[in-house]
Structures are given as C-alpha cells and as structure tokens.
C-alpha cells in the first residue's frame, strides 16, 4: 500500500511568520511531488511541484525534497490570512499512473 | 485558455438512480483523471485516460462506475444505482503529456438521499 502521510493540524502561525508543512511518503520509487492548496468547498489548486532533491522556490513558496529520507516539505514565507487553507501533498506513484494524496494539513494564519 | 470545467457543479439524486458527470479538460491536455474526495480526506484516484484509452482504473471502483473519453477530449463518469456512500465531490484533473502537473476542475458535488 503506497501511502502519503501528513499531520492534519491545524497548524496556526501568526501573520508574517513562516509556515512549514511536512509530508512523508512510502513509495521509494516516486519521482514527482506536488503541493496543492484547497479552500473549504473548493477544488485543489496546484501551487508547487518538485522532481529533484533540494529546494525549489516560487515567490513566497519553497518546496523541499529529500528522496533518501522520503519527505517533502512546503515553506510559506510572510504568511497571510489568505493562506489559511488545507494543503495537500501528492505523490505520483511509481510504475502506475496514480497520484496518491495525503489527507492534508489545515493551516490557519492569525491576523 | 480556460481551465478544466465540470458539469454539473451540484447533483442531488435519490438512491438507486443513475447519474452522469462531464469533464472538459484543458484543450491541449491529453491526460485526464477522475478522483473522488470525501470530507477530511485527500482526493482518491478513480481512473486515468490517455487520449481516448482508459489505461488505469482503481480497484476501489465498483462495477457501478464507468468512465469514457470517446474522442480523447471530454470525459464522462457514470454511476449506476447510486448509494448513499457515493455522496462525495467528484473531481476531474488534466495534464499535458510533457509534464506530470495536474490541474483540477471545480468538481461535481454529489448528494445521494
């Protein structure tokens, strides 16, 4: 059973702080990793993807991947109340076309 | 370029009825996925199309579920003899063959009474 694990939260951070979201996965052969933001009642929105070990930055977002330790993280700098949402980690499973999603971490940014 | 669209956005049906949902992917995307999401869970993979070919189907998908993508463009997902446990958000996503990034539509929320 290929799994993706996330802490469900809620993770509460003050406005302007850095929010750190973590995800671990079980499929050692996975090569593609994604972070989605989902507001309540809406569909997931792709915010970051990463395929290589290391860091990838896009604006206030940084994705970090460590394949040896099988974890991927998302940092949100200068957190804003509008960042309050559920963040889903997704992994493309090896040897299939499936994408496995975690249950998401709920982030609350306090004004 | 418009994103992925889904129709209807909401569907309320009585147990035992059949329902059909439609998904229109981003125009140049040849890969299309269907997912189901229930409250507090991440999206759960249902099936995958590459062009018109259905290449993978979840073992969780009972034989009451069927999906088609006849001309490699839009796709339909049909649920026959709906049950209350089918109540969920049904999400469609598409991606280009050049990358693995998936983009989701707004979803169809199904309520089975």
Q: How many CB atoms lie within 10 A of CB A109?
A: 21
- Please state, in angstroms and rounded to a whole number, the distance separating the CA atoms of residues A80 and A61: 12
Cβ–Cβ of A34/B41 closer than 8 Å? no
Interface size, chain A vs chain B, as Cβ–Cβ contacts under 8 Å:
55
Q: Which comes out higher in pLDDT, residue A72 or A96?
A: A72
Per-residue pLDDT, averaged over A24-42, amounts to 96
Q: Do you know the residue count of chain B? A: 113
Contacts of B55 (CB under 8 A, 6+ apart): A97, B48, B49
Whether A55 and chain B come into contact, CB under 8 Å, resolves to no
Q: What is the pLDDT of residue B98?
A: 87
Separation in Å, CA of B92 to nearest CA in chain A? 10
Average pLDDT, 10 consecutive residues per value, chain B (113 residues): 91 98 95 97 96 91 91 94 97 93 97 98
Q: Taking 70 as the threshold, does the pLDDT of residue A74 lie above it?
A: yes
Residues of chain B positioned with their CB less than 8 A from the CB of A4: 42
Give the 3-state secondary structure of A70-104: CEEEEEECCCCHHHCEEEEEEEECCCCCCEEECCC
Q: What is the pLDDT of residue B61?
A: 79
Q: Do you know the residue count of chain A? A: 111
């Amino acid at each position: 059973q290929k799994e993706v694990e996330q802490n469900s939260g809620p993770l509460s951070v003050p406005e302007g702080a850095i929010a750190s979201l973590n995800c671990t996965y079980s499929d050692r052969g996975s090569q593609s990793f994604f972070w989605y933001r989902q507001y309540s009642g809406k569909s997931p929105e792709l915010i970051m993807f990463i395929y290589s070990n290391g860091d990838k930055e896009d604006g206030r977002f940084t994705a970090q991947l460590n394949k040896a330790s099988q974890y991927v993280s998302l940092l949100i700098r200068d957190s804003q109340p509008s960042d309050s949402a559920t963040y889903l980690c997704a992994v493309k499973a090896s040897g299939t076309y499936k994408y496995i999603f975690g249950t998401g971490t709920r982030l609350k940014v306090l004004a | 370029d418009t994103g992925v669209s889904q129709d209807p956005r909401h569907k309320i049906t009585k147990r035992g009825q059949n329902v059909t949902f439609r998904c229109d992917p981003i125009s140049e995307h040849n890969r299309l996925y269907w997912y189901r999401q229930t409250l507090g869970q991440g999206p759960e993979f249902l099936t995958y199309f590459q062009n018109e070919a259905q290449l993978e189907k979840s073992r969780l998908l009972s034989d009451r579920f069927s999906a088609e993508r006849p001309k490699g463009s839009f796709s339909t997902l049909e649920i026959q003899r709906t049950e209350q446990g089918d109540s969920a958000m049904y999400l469609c996503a598409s991606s280009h063959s050049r990358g693995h990034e998936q983009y989701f539509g707004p979803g169809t929320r199904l309520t089975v009474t």
